[in-house]
Amino acid sequence: MAELAVDVGRLALKNPVLAASGTFGYGLEFRPFLDLARLGGFVTKGLSPAPRDGNPPPRIVETPAGMLNTIGLQNVGVDAFLEDKLPALAGCDTAVVANVFGETIAEYVHVCERLDQAPGLAAIELNVSCPNVECGGMIFGNDPRALGEVTRACRRATRLPLWVKLSPNVTDITETARAAEAEGADALSLVNTFLGMAIDAERRRPVLTRISGGLSGPAIRPLAVWMTYRVARTVRVPVIGIGGIVSGRDAVEFLLAGATAVQVGTANFLHPAAAIEVLDGLEQYLAQHGAKSVREIVGALEVEAPR
Protein backbone atom coordinates (compact mmCIF):
# COMPACT_ATOMS: atom_id res chain seq x y z
CA MET A 1 0.00 0.00 0.00
CA ALA A 2 1.44 3.33 -1.07
CA GLU A 3 2.26 6.05 1.43
CA LEU A 4 -0.40 8.76 1.14
CA ALA A 5 0.88 11.49 3.45
CA VAL A 6 1.78 14.81 1.88
CA ASP A 7 3.02 18.12 3.22
CA VAL A 8 1.25 21.24 2.04
CA GLY A 9 3.96 23.64 3.13
CA ARG A 10 4.27 23.24 6.87
CA LEU A 11 0.92 21.45 7.17
CA ALA A 12 1.17 17.66 7.15
CA LEU A 13 -1.89 15.89 5.72
CA LYS A 14 -2.56 12.17 6.11
CA ASN A 15 -3.54 12.06 2.44
CA PRO A 16 -3.94 14.55 -0.41
CA VAL A 17 -7.74 14.41 -0.71
CA LEU A 18 -9.70 17.27 0.84
CA ALA A 19 -13.28 18.43 0.42
CA ALA A 20 -13.73 21.89 -1.06
CA SER A 21 -15.30 24.95 0.49
CA GLY A 22 -18.96 25.52 -0.26
CA THR A 23 -19.60 21.86 -0.98
CA PHE A 24 -19.00 20.35 2.45
CA GLY A 25 -20.94 22.61 4.83
CA TYR A 26 -19.11 22.71 8.14
CA GLY A 27 -18.16 19.04 7.88
CA LEU A 28 -20.73 17.92 10.42
CA GLU A 29 -23.39 17.45 7.74
CA PHE A 30 -21.35 14.59 6.26
CA ARG A 31 -21.00 12.51 9.40
CA PRO A 32 -23.91 10.21 8.45
CA PHE A 33 -22.18 9.37 5.18
CA LEU A 34 -18.44 9.09 5.75
CA ASP A 35 -15.68 8.90 8.33
CA LEU A 36 -14.19 12.41 8.39
CA ALA A 37 -10.96 10.90 9.77
CA ARG A 38 -10.28 9.23 6.42
CA LEU A 39 -10.05 12.57 4.62
CA GLY A 40 -6.85 14.51 4.27
CA GLY A 41 -8.98 17.43 5.39
CA PHE A 42 -11.88 19.62 4.44
CA VAL A 43 -12.45 23.32 3.88
CA THR A 44 -15.46 24.95 5.54
CA LYS A 45 -18.12 27.07 3.93
CA GLY A 46 -16.75 30.61 3.50
CA LEU A 47 -16.88 32.55 6.77
CA SER A 48 -17.60 36.27 7.00
CA PRO A 49 -17.53 38.58 10.05
CA ALA A 50 -21.34 38.48 10.40
CA PRO A 51 -23.87 35.88 9.26
CA ARG A 52 -25.02 36.32 5.67
CA ASP A 53 -28.39 35.38 4.19
CA GLY A 54 -27.18 34.85 0.64
CA ASN A 55 -29.01 35.52 -2.62
CA PRO A 56 -32.69 35.01 -3.45
CA PRO A 57 -33.59 31.76 -5.25
CA PRO A 58 -33.33 30.28 -7.80
CA ARG A 59 -29.69 29.78 -6.91
CA ILE A 60 -28.62 26.73 -8.89
CA VAL A 61 -29.13 25.18 -12.29
CA GLU A 62 -27.68 22.07 -13.85
CA THR A 63 -25.65 22.59 -17.04
CA PRO A 64 -23.87 20.06 -19.27
CA ALA A 65 -21.56 18.08 -16.96
CA GLY A 66 -21.76 20.83 -14.39
CA MET A 67 -23.84 23.30 -12.48
CA LEU A 68 -24.09 27.05 -12.00
CA ASN A 69 -24.61 28.48 -8.53
CA THR A 70 -25.23 31.87 -7.08
CA ILE A 71 -25.59 31.05 -3.40
CA GLY A 72 -24.25 34.44 -2.38
CA LEU A 73 -21.89 33.26 0.38
CA GLN A 74 -24.68 32.39 2.82
CA ASN A 75 -22.95 31.39 6.07
CA VAL A 76 -23.35 31.43 9.85
CA GLY A 77 -20.59 34.00 10.42
CA VAL A 78 -17.24 33.43 12.11
CA ASP A 79 -18.58 33.76 15.68
CA ALA A 80 -21.22 31.08 15.29
CA PHE A 81 -18.65 28.90 13.56
CA LEU A 82 -16.32 29.19 16.54
CA GLU A 83 -19.09 28.68 19.10
CA ASP A 84 -21.24 25.98 17.49
CA LYS A 85 -19.44 24.26 14.64
CA LEU A 86 -15.75 24.01 15.51
CA PRO A 87 -16.26 22.54 19.02
CA ALA A 88 -18.48 19.84 17.50
CA LEU A 89 -15.59 18.93 15.20
CA ALA A 90 -13.17 18.32 18.08
CA GLY A 91 -11.48 14.96 17.70
CA CYS A 92 -12.60 14.52 14.09
CA ASP A 93 -8.97 13.67 13.29
CA THR A 94 -8.73 15.47 9.99
CA ALA A 95 -7.36 18.85 8.93
CA VAL A 96 -10.07 21.48 9.30
CA VAL A 97 -9.38 24.46 7.04
CA ALA A 98 -11.49 27.60 7.48
CA ASN A 99 -12.42 29.45 4.31
CA VAL A 100 -12.55 33.21 4.85
CA PHE A 101 -13.97 36.12 2.89
CA GLY A 102 -14.85 39.78 3.35
CA GLU A 103 -15.92 42.80 1.41
CA THR A 104 -13.05 44.91 2.75
CA ILE A 105 -9.50 44.06 3.77
CA ALA A 106 -10.48 44.88 7.36
CA GLU A 107 -13.20 42.23 7.21
CA TYR A 108 -10.75 39.59 5.98
CA VAL A 109 -8.34 40.55 8.75
CA HIS A 110 -11.07 40.47 11.38
CA VAL A 111 -12.10 36.91 10.47
CA CYS A 112 -8.46 35.74 10.30
CA GLU A 113 -7.75 37.21 13.74
CA ARG A 114 -10.84 35.54 15.21
CA LEU A 115 -9.73 32.18 13.79
CA ASP A 116 -6.03 32.52 14.64
CA GLN A 117 -6.22 31.09 18.15
CA ALA A 118 -9.05 28.62 17.45
CA PRO A 119 -8.22 25.17 18.75
CA GLY A 120 -8.24 22.47 16.13
CA LEU A 121 -7.93 24.64 13.06
CA ALA A 122 -5.25 23.50 10.60
CA ALA A 123 -5.16 26.39 8.13
CA ILE A 124 -7.00 29.35 6.65
CA GLU A 125 -8.01 29.56 3.00
CA LEU A 126 -8.84 32.97 1.56
CA ASN A 127 -11.76 33.18 -0.84
CA VAL A 128 -10.82 36.13 -3.01
CA SER A 129 -13.71 35.83 -5.45
CA CYS A 130 -15.62 38.45 -3.53
CA PRO A 131 -16.33 42.05 -4.62
CA ASN A 132 -14.00 44.61 -3.04
CA VAL A 133 -16.42 47.20 -1.67
CA GLU A 134 -13.65 49.73 -1.07
CA CYS A 135 -12.51 49.44 -4.64
CA GLY A 136 -15.77 49.92 -6.52
CA GLY A 137 -16.83 46.30 -6.38
CA MET A 138 -13.82 44.98 -8.24
CA ILE A 139 -13.17 41.36 -7.39
CA PHE A 140 -10.13 41.00 -5.08
CA GLY A 141 -8.94 37.93 -6.89
CA ASN A 142 -9.05 39.52 -10.36
CA ASP A 143 -6.37 42.10 -9.65
CA PRO A 144 -2.85 41.02 -8.67
CA ARG A 145 -2.31 44.20 -6.64
CA ALA A 146 -5.54 43.93 -4.63
CA LEU A 147 -4.90 40.22 -4.14
CA GLY A 148 -1.39 40.97 -2.89
CA GLU A 149 -2.75 43.53 -0.41
CA VAL A 150 -5.39 41.24 1.07
CA THR A 151 -2.88 38.39 1.28
CA ARG A 152 -0.31 40.58 3.05
CA ALA A 153 -2.88 41.86 5.55
CA CYS A 154 -4.13 38.37 6.37
CA ARG A 155 -0.58 37.04 6.58
CA ARG A 156 0.01 39.49 9.43
CA ALA A 157 -3.28 38.54 11.09
CA THR A 158 -2.60 34.85 11.61
CA ARG A 159 0.14 32.36 12.33
CA LEU A 160 -1.88 29.56 10.78
CA PRO A 161 -0.88 28.30 7.35
CA LEU A 162 -2.48 30.66 4.83
CA TRP A 163 -3.86 29.33 1.56
CA VAL A 164 -5.15 31.60 -1.17
CA LYS A 165 -7.88 30.20 -3.42
CA LEU A 166 -7.40 31.64 -6.88
CA SER A 167 -10.14 32.73 -9.24
CA PRO A 168 -9.94 31.40 -12.80
CA ASN A 169 -11.73 34.50 -14.14
CA VAL A 170 -8.50 36.29 -15.00
CA THR A 171 -6.42 36.79 -18.12
CA ASP A 172 -3.31 35.18 -16.66
CA ILE A 173 -3.65 33.14 -13.49
CA THR A 174 0.11 32.97 -13.02
CA GLU A 175 0.10 36.72 -12.26
CA THR A 176 -2.35 36.42 -9.36
CA ALA A 177 -0.53 33.26 -8.25
CA ARG A 178 2.78 35.13 -8.09
CA ALA A 179 1.16 38.05 -6.22
CA ALA A 180 -0.24 35.75 -3.53
CA GLU A 181 3.05 33.87 -3.21
CA ALA A 182 5.05 37.10 -2.93
CA GLU A 183 2.87 38.31 -0.03
CA GLY A 184 3.27 35.18 2.05
CA ALA A 185 0.72 32.59 0.96
CA ASP A 186 1.79 29.14 2.17
CA ALA A 187 -0.13 27.41 -0.60
CA LEU A 188 -2.40 28.23 -3.52
CA SER A 189 -5.66 26.39 -4.13
CA LEU A 190 -7.13 26.56 -7.59
CA VAL A 191 -9.55 27.00 -9.12
CA ASN A 192 -12.69 28.61 -7.80
CA THR A 193 -15.74 28.57 -10.13
CA PHE A 194 -15.82 30.02 -13.62
CA LEU A 195 -18.39 32.75 -14.26
CA GLY A 196 -21.16 31.53 -16.49
CA MET A 197 -24.77 32.08 -17.43
CA ALA A 198 -27.79 30.02 -18.39
CA ILE A 199 -30.81 31.45 -20.19
CA ASP A 200 -34.37 30.20 -20.18
CA ALA A 201 -35.10 30.57 -23.90
CA GLU A 202 -38.87 30.18 -23.46
CA ARG A 203 -39.12 33.00 -20.95
CA ARG A 204 -36.19 34.97 -22.40
CA ARG A 205 -34.80 35.44 -18.91
CA PRO A 206 -31.66 34.40 -17.08
CA VAL A 207 -32.27 31.20 -15.10
CA LEU A 208 -30.49 32.53 -12.01
CA THR A 209 -31.68 35.61 -10.11
CA ARG A 210 -28.26 37.22 -10.21
CA ILE A 211 -27.97 36.58 -13.96
CA SER A 212 -24.55 34.93 -13.75
CA GLY A 213 -23.28 32.15 -11.52
CA GLY A 214 -20.19 30.10 -10.78
CA LEU A 215 -19.71 27.06 -13.00
CA SER A 216 -18.39 23.91 -11.34
CA GLY A 217 -18.33 20.17 -11.98
CA PRO A 218 -16.60 17.92 -14.52
CA ALA A 219 -17.22 20.52 -17.25
CA ILE A 220 -14.42 22.69 -15.86
CA ARG A 221 -11.88 19.93 -15.17
CA PRO A 222 -9.68 20.39 -18.27
CA LEU A 223 -9.60 24.15 -17.67
CA ALA A 224 -8.63 23.61 -14.05
CA VAL A 225 -5.97 21.01 -14.85
CA TRP A 226 -4.37 23.39 -17.34
CA MET A 227 -4.34 26.26 -14.82
CA THR A 228 -2.93 23.95 -12.15
CA TYR A 229 -0.18 22.88 -14.53
CA ARG A 230 0.72 26.48 -15.36
CA VAL A 231 0.68 27.73 -11.76
CA ALA A 232 2.63 24.73 -10.44
CA ARG A 233 5.40 25.55 -12.93
CA THR A 234 5.36 29.21 -11.89
CA VAL A 235 5.43 29.23 -8.07
CA ARG A 236 7.45 27.43 -5.43
CA VAL A 237 4.69 27.08 -2.85
CA PRO A 238 2.48 23.98 -3.01
CA VAL A 239 -0.58 23.99 -5.24
CA ILE A 240 -3.89 22.36 -4.37
CA GLY A 241 -5.87 21.36 -7.45
CA ILE A 242 -9.65 21.86 -7.63
CA GLY A 243 -12.11 21.50 -10.47
CA GLY A 244 -14.56 18.76 -11.36
CA ILE A 245 -12.86 15.89 -9.55
CA VAL A 246 -15.23 12.94 -9.16
CA SER A 247 -12.86 9.95 -9.34
CA GLY A 248 -9.38 8.90 -8.32
CA ARG A 249 -8.24 9.21 -11.94
CA ASP A 250 -9.40 12.84 -11.97
CA ALA A 251 -7.36 13.53 -8.83
CA VAL A 252 -4.33 11.88 -10.45
CA GLU A 253 -4.56 14.32 -13.37
CA PHE A 254 -4.13 17.25 -10.98
CA LEU A 255 -1.31 15.56 -9.07
CA LEU A 256 0.58 14.77 -12.28
CA ALA A 257 0.07 18.38 -13.35
CA GLY A 258 1.91 19.44 -10.20
CA ALA A 259 -0.68 19.71 -7.43
CA THR A 260 0.46 18.45 -4.01
CA ALA A 261 -3.14 17.86 -2.91
CA VAL A 262 -6.63 18.13 -4.35
CA GLN A 263 -10.07 19.26 -3.26
CA VAL A 264 -13.27 17.47 -4.23
CA GLY A 265 -16.13 19.92 -4.71
CA THR A 266 -19.37 19.46 -6.66
CA ALA A 267 -19.02 15.67 -6.45
CA ASN A 268 -19.88 15.92 -2.74
CA PHE A 269 -23.38 16.97 -3.82
CA LEU A 270 -23.73 14.02 -6.18
CA HIS A 271 -22.57 11.39 -3.70
CA PRO A 272 -22.03 12.38 -0.08
CA ALA A 273 -19.13 9.90 0.17
CA ALA A 274 -17.53 11.14 -3.08
CA ALA A 275 -14.30 12.29 -1.42
CA ILE A 276 -13.77 8.76 -0.03
CA GLU A 277 -14.43 7.30 -3.49
CA VAL A 278 -11.77 9.65 -4.88
CA LEU A 279 -9.31 8.56 -2.18
CA ASP A 280 -10.00 4.86 -2.82
CA GLY A 281 -9.53 5.42 -6.55
CA LEU A 282 -6.25 7.23 -5.96
CA GLU A 283 -4.96 4.35 -3.83
CA GLN A 284 -5.90 1.89 -6.57
CA TYR A 285 -4.06 3.95 -9.15
CA LEU A 286 -0.94 4.08 -6.98
CA ALA A 287 -1.08 0.33 -6.41
CA GLN A 288 -1.54 -0.38 -10.13
CA HIS A 289 1.45 1.80 -10.93
CA GLY A 290 3.67 0.41 -8.21
CA ALA A 291 4.14 3.78 -6.52
CA LYS A 292 5.57 3.68 -2.99
CA SER A 293 4.25 7.13 -2.20
CA VAL A 294 1.75 9.50 -3.69
CA ARG A 295 4.55 12.06 -3.68
CA GLU A 296 6.13 10.17 -6.57
CA ILE A 297 3.38 11.27 -8.93
CA VAL A 298 3.24 14.94 -7.92
CA GLY A 299 4.40 16.86 -11.00
CA ALA A 300 5.44 13.58 -12.64
CA LEU A 301 3.87 14.52 -15.95
CA GLU A 302 6.00 13.42 -18.87
CA VAL A 303 5.95 15.88 -21.73
CA GLU A 304 7.61 15.10 -25.02
CA ALA A 305 9.86 17.91 -26.10
CA PRO A 306 8.95 19.20 -29.54
CA ARG A 307 11.51 18.24 -32.15
Partner 1 sequence: MPRDVTTTVLRNLDLGGGNYLVEFADPEMAAEMQAGQFLMLGIPGSETLLRRPYSVCGLPGTFADAPRDALQLLYRVVGRGTALLAALRPGAELRVLGPLGRGFTPASADVRHVLVAGGIGIAPFPAWIAALAPEKPILLYGARCAAELTLLDWFRERTSELVLTTDDGSAGRGGFVTEPLDELLRATPKQRLRLSACGPEPMLRAVARLAARHEVECELALEAHMACGFGVCLGCVVPVRRGAGPPAYERVCVEGPVMRAERLAW
Site residues (CB under 8 A) for partner 1? Answer: 23-25, 29-30, 32-33, 53-54, 56-62, 65-67, 69, 71, 74, 217-218, 266, 268-273
Give least dist CB 86 to partner 1, A: 17
Neighbours of 272 (CB within 10 A): 16
Name the phi and psi angles at 256, rounded to 5. Answer: -60, -35
Active site residue 130: yes
| Nearer of residues 29 and 93 to partner 1, judged by Cβ | 29
In three-state secondary structure terms, 111 is helix
| Nearer of residues 179 and 242 to partner 1, judged by Cβ | 242
Could you say which DSSP state residue 260 is in? Answer: S
| Nearer of residues 228 and 268 to partner 1, judged by Cβ | 268
Exposed / middle / buried, residue 57 (Cβ in 10 Å: 0-12, 13-18, 19+) = exposed
| E strand residue ranges, 3-83 | 6-8, 11-13, 17-19, 41-43, 60-63, 66-69
Q: Residue 34 to residues 24, 99, 267: CA-CA distances in angstroms?
A: 12, 21, 14
Give least dist CB 25 to partner 1, A: 4
Do 255 and 225 touch, CB atoms closer than 8 A? no
Q: Pick the catalytic residue from 92, 112, 130, 154.
A: 130
Give least dist CB 31 to partner 1, A: 10
Give least dist CB 19 to partner 1, A: 10
| Nearer of residues 158 and 216 to partner 1, judged by Cβ | 216
Catalytic annotation, residues: 130
